[in-house]
């Protein structure tokens, strides 16, 4: 009985530990720019520019759909719901199609894989009984939902040519297609819709070749939406074999829908409701929301797709926002991790985006905008983010022309700009901190392009003729030895300097301009895209021809040759320079001093500490990456989560490596307890680097052992014989490399 009591106390204690997700993928998308709504009996499905999510009408649960958890692809372009088949139909820009039925996914890649059409985008989906009619960039594809296969393809343009189909609708006898060249119609019960001769273009509507974008049926009448000159739009009604103008607007009409015998017309700032006679019944508008794209009405509830605020429900005179957690924007351009936090921003020097910061911590996003930080109001483009090596809670956000914002403990502490600091108004290119807490800043087009902000908020400006008054500076890094390296000249060369004596007088500073050359004094590449320092002080350089490494960067100011080497790797029996045929755009170091390499065309690679072994390769075919164009990578040292910034959004992968800790104070194991239904890896986190981990049963018998990668150790739950461990309490012994520090934790394992 005493053993049973102890076991229950252990279970209670272990279950009180907060669950966390360790190994796996996550998408970090804004889900903000909503554009289409469909509904089942108990869910609303919302399509946004960054993905799809559902909202439960029963318990208000919000669930996102993406490559990391459900779907087979990215870039969903249209959705529809089949009540008869209880299936969500999703079409993609590349022609791919997914059918989601409860927890089951069926992918139909016939259109995507067909080489006969250049543009295969699924532009609309209309479900009739068991058939989903897909309006594509080349025609119509009929999809049998029961058989889960393509039934037919209709090329309805002149003489059976391709034609862009924007929308499809059916009535009792006909199928209608809104195309780039007018309206086409066919007998729905025809046995041969594949024959283009069975499709007729509607010619008795004014300007019958004008592009049509949307169709609706109300009270037996057909409605067609067309965009005319400029942003003007018009809706025509078909009744008694005649077409009459129903409604016109000098503004763009985005969509129209029919509910409860009424036609809803969606404009940017208002939604008008008409009866079939053309009488305007009501108007929906609000000062709080003004980017309407679609509407869905049913059971006395009104939902609106808003292109800025995602899914809105109108309740009385108010709008309630409904959206998954995420950063506010898709076009993230900067990402930076420190401790257990990851910061991101969306700042483009050629595009005025609001100055905003997005913080990911404890598996949730927190957004800093002018709504909660007044100083951000009317400021633009946060283009760079840096931390402070002396203070983990201090973060700097540099803008393209509005100075630097300094946050500490997630609160704005200082705002530096041209009126209270030596910063110019030309833009902060990049920043980095040294171990004394001094922030080093690249100030674009400035007579003194280097600015240094001490930990106690004192500014110094430094002048170097090689980099002053230049707009093509790219990045600055502070090395462990105190040297500063700058990537400049549109990535063609590097500049290094070190301050001798006081920062205030830099006349005697050492400095050097150099190209990336090998031991034969030959250029490795004239296109340099990134520089970073690893844990042992080597500088890794990402170029248009792979990777170069300076193993002893401190010799840059000494006499004699100074060169980089190219790591050599053997893959499938072929020996070559590391990624020599790839443009390496970014390099990041993880807790085990391994290197993540982001390429322009081939995804992300994880290589060993010296770059001589490929450990992992992620691309769009074998992972949820939304694109193979990896622009930035950031590794969260506390959680091991790797953030990949692509040209099509940001995703993260929580791998097996975290940064080592200074002691075992935060040691824990997850999951704990290990349930009989759990078959995944067991993770020990909070370890010191290169820890020895031994797992034994309570009798002292060794079950498994190994070394940690950085601050994390992974156990598959099996013993040395490959069998799953027996039910019981296990002891996990952890000790550092020299055995001077150790700790033991308990794990309950249920087989």
Q: Which residue has the higher pLDDT, 289 or 415?
A: 415
Q: Which tops the pLDDT comparison, 437 or 686?
A: 437
Least confidently predicted of 399-403, 418-422, 737-741: 737-741
pTM exceeding the 0.95 threshold for the entire prediction: no
Work out the average pLDDT over 109-115.
95
Q: What average pLDDT does range 191-208 have in this prediction?
A: 95
> How many Cβ atoms from other residues are within 10 Å of residue 393's Cβ?
15
d(CA 95, CA 72): 12
Residue 660 scores a pLDDT above 70: yes
Sign of CA dihedral 450, 451, 453, 454: positive
Under 8 Å between Cβ of 322 and 328: no
3-state secondary structure of 196: helix
Q: Is the pLDDT confidence value at 14 over 60?
A: no
pLDDT > 70: percent of the chain: 95
For position 506, what pLDDT does the model report? 57
Q: What is the pLDDT of residue 503?
A: 54
Q: Please tell me whether the peptide bond between 340 and the residue prior to it is cis, using omega within 30 degrees of 0.
A: no
Q: Is the pLDDT assigned to residue 684 strictly greater than 50?
A: yes
| Cα–Cα distance list, 307 to 33, 47, 468 (Å) | 4, 10, 42
- Under a CB-based contact definition with an 8 Å cutoff, are residues 136 and 123 in contact? yes
- Residues 611-644: tens digit of each pLDDT: 999 999 999 999 999 999 999 999 998 888 999 9
User: CA 540, CA 533: separation in Å to the nearest integer?
Assistant: 6
Model confidence at 4, pLDDT cuts 50, 70, 90, reads: very low
In the predicted model, is pLDDT for residue 502 greater than 80?
A: no
Neighbours of 730 (CB within 10 A): 21
CA distance 329 to 267: 23
**Contact in structure between 77 and 68 (CB atoms under 8 Å):** no
* pLDDT reported for residue 13: 33
CA gap 682, 261 in Å, rounded: 57
Count H helices, E strands: the chain?
A: 2, 64
Topology (CATH) of 668-749? Immunoglobulin-like (2.60.40)
318-322 and 334-338 strand pairing: unpaired
- Structure confidence at residue 507 (pLDDT): 59
> DSSP string spanning 501-546?
S-TT--TT-EEEEE--B-TTS-BS-S-EEEEEE-TTSPEEEEETTE
Mean pLDDT of the chain: 91
Is 20 a residue whose pLDDT tops 50? no
Q: Which of 467, 450, 348, 332 is nearest to 400 (CA)?
A: 348
3-class secondary-structure state, position 13: helix
CA distance 68 to 663: 34
- Computed over its alpha carbons, how large is the radius of gyration of the chain? 30
Residue scoring higher pLDDT (705 or 500): 705
Instruction: Give 649's strand partners.
Output: 646, 647
In this predicted model, which residue has the larger pLDDT, 212 or 260? 212
On whether the CB atoms of residues 273 and 280 are closer than 8 A, the answer is yes
pLDDT in tens, 129-178: 999 999 999 999 999 999 999 999 999 999 999 999 999 999 989 999 99
Percent above pLDDT 90 for the chain: 78
Between CA 13 and CA 16, with CA 15 as vertex, the angle to 5 degrees is 65
φ, ψ of residue 196 to 5 degrees: the values are -60, -20
What backbone torsions phi and psi does residue 556 show, to the nearest 5 degrees? -60, -30
**Residue position matching structure tokens 């399509």:** 47
**The CA-based dihedral angle spanning residues 635, 641, 644, 650, taken in that order and rounded to the nearest 10 degrees:** -130
Mean pLDDT across 23-45: 93
Q: How far apart are CA 398 and CA 333, in angstroms?
A: 12
d(CA 542, CA 272): 55
CATH architecture of 524-659: 7 Propeller (2.130)
In whole angstroms, what is the distance from residue 30 CA to residue 48 CA? Answer: 9
Please state the rounded mean pLDDT for residues 298-322: 92
The whole-angstrom separation of Cα 120 and Cα 132 is 16
pLDDT digits (tens, 9 = 90+) for 57-87: 999 999 999 998 889 998 999 999 999 999 9
Amino acid 492: pLDDT? 79
Closest CA to 306 of 264, 354, 267: 267
Residue 7 has pLDDT above 50, yes or no: no
The DSSP secondary-structure symbol of 554 reads G
Work out the burial of residue 87: count CB atoms within 10 Å of its CB; fewer than 13 is exposed, 13-18 middle, 19 or more buried: buried
Instruction: Please state whether beta strands 728-735 and 742-749 pair in parallel, antiparallel, or not at all (unpaired).
Output: antiparallel
The closest of 272, 234, 274 to 252, measured between CA atoms, is 234
User: Which candidate, 37, 28, 30, places its Cα nearest to that of 311?
Assistant: 37
Per-residue model confidence (pLDDT) at position 501 = 53
H helix or E strand, kind and range, residue 30: none
Contacts of 691 by beta carbon, 8 Å cutoff, 6+ apart: 660, 707, 708, 711, 713, 734, 735, 736, 737
Question: Both tokens of residue 389?
Answer: 């090596």
Banded pLDDT at 12 (limits 50, 70, 90): very low
Average of per-residue pLDDT across 685-710: 91
pLDDT at 3 over 70: no
What per-residue confidence (pLDDT) applies to 11?
36
pLDDT tier for residue 10 given thresholds of 50, 70 and 90: very low
Encoding tokens for residue 283?
A: 């108007």
**Helix residue ranges, H only, 61-187:** 110-113
**Does the pLDDT at position 5 exceed 60?**
no
Tens of pLDDT, residues 232-249: 999 999 998 999 999 999
Residue with tokens 């104070």: 665
Q: Please say if the pLDDT value at position 15 is more than 50.
A: no
Would you say residue 17 has pLDDT above 80?
A: no
């Amino acid at each position: 009985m005493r053993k049973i009591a102890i076991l229950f106390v252990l279970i209670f204690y272990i279950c009180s530990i907060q669950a966390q997700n360790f190994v796996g993928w996550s998408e970090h998308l804004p889900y903000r720019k909503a554009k289409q709504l469909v509904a089942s009996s108990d869910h609303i499905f919302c399509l946004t520019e960054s993905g799809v999510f559902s909202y439960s009408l029963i318990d208000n649960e919000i669930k996102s759909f993406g490559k990391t958890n459900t779907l087979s692809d990215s870039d969903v372009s249209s959705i529809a719901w089949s009540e008869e088949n209880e299936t969500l139909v999703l079409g993609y820009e590349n022609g791919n199609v997914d059918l989601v039925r409860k927890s089951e996914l069926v992918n139909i890649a016939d259109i995507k894989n067909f080489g006969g059409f250049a543009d295969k985008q699924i532009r609309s989906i209309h479900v009739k009984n068991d058939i989903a009619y897909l309006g594509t960039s080349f025609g119509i594809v009929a999809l049998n939902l029961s058989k889960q296969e393509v039934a037919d393809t209709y090329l309805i343009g002149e003489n059976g040519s391709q034609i862009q189909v924007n929308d499809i609708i059916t009535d009792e006898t006909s199928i209608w297609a809104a195309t780039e060249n007018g309206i086409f119609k066919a007998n729905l019960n025809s046995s041969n819709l594949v024959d283009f001769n069975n499709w007729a273009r509607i010619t008795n509507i004014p300007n019958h070749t004008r592009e049509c974008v949307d169709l609706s049926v109300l009270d037996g009448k057909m409605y067609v939406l067309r965009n005319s000159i400029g942003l003007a739009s018009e809706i025509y009604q078909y009744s008694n074999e005649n077409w009459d103008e129903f409604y016109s607007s000098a503004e763009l009409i985005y969509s129209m829908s029919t509910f409860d015998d009424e036609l809803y017309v969606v404009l940017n700032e208002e939604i008008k409701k008409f009866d079939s006679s053309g009488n305007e019944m009501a108007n929906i508008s609000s000062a709080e929301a003004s980017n309407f794209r679609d509407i869905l009405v049913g059971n006395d509830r009104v939902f609106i797709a808003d292109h800025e605020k995602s899914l809105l429900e109108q309740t009385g005179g108010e709008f309630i926002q409904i959206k998954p957690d995420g950063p506010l924007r898709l076009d993230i351009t900067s990402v930076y991790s420190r401790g257990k936090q990851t910061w991101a921003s969306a700042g483009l020097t050629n595009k005025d985006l609001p100055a905003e910061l997005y913080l990911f911590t404890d598996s949730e996003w927190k957004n800093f905008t002018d709504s909660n930080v007044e100083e951000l109001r009317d400021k633009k483009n946060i283009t760079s983010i840096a931390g402070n090596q002396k203070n983990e809670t201090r973060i700097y956000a540099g803008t393209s022309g509005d100075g630097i914002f300094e946050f500490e403990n997630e609160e704005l502490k200082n705002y530096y700009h041209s009126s209270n600091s030596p910063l110019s108004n030309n833009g902060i290119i990049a920043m980095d901190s040294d171990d004394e807490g001094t922030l080093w800043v690249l100030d674009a087009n400035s007579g003194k392009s280097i600015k240094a902000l001490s930990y106690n908020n004192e500014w110094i400006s430094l002048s170097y003729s090689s980099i002053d008054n230049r707009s093509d500076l790219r990045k600055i890094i502070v090395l462990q030895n105190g040297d500063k390296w700058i990537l400049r000249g549109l990535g063609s060369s590097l500049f290094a300097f070190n301050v001798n004596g006081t920062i205030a007088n830099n006349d005697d500073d050492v400095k050097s301009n150099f190209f990336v050359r090998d031991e034969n004094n030959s250029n490795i590449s004239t296109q340099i895209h990134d520089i970073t320092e690893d844990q042992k002080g080597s500088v890794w350089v990402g170029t248009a021809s792979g990777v170069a490494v300076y193993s002893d960067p401190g010799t840059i100011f000494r006499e004699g040759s100074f060169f980089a080497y190219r790591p050599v790797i053997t893959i499938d029996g072929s020996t070559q320079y590391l990624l020599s045929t790839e443009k390496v755009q970014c390099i990041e170091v993880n807790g085990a001093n391994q290197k993540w390499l982001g390429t322009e065309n081939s995804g992300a690679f994880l290589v060993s500490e010296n770059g001589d072994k490929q450990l992992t390769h992620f691309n769009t075919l074998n992972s949820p990456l939304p694109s193979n164009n990896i622009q930035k990578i950031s590794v969260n040292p506390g959680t091991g989560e790797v953030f990949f910034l692509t040209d099509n959004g940001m995703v993260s992968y929580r791998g097996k490596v975290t940064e080592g800790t200074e002691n075992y104070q935060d040691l824990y194991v997850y999951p704990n307890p290990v349930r009989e239904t759990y078959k995944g890896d067991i993770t020990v986190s909070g370890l010191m680097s290169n820890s020895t981990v031994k797992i034994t049963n309570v009798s002292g018998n060794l079950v498994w052992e190994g070394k940690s990668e950085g601050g994390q150790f992974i156990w598959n739950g099996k013993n040395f014989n490959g069998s799953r461990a027996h039910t019981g309490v296990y002891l996990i012994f952890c000790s550092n490399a020299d055995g001077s520090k150790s700790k033991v934790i308990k794990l309950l394992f249920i087989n």
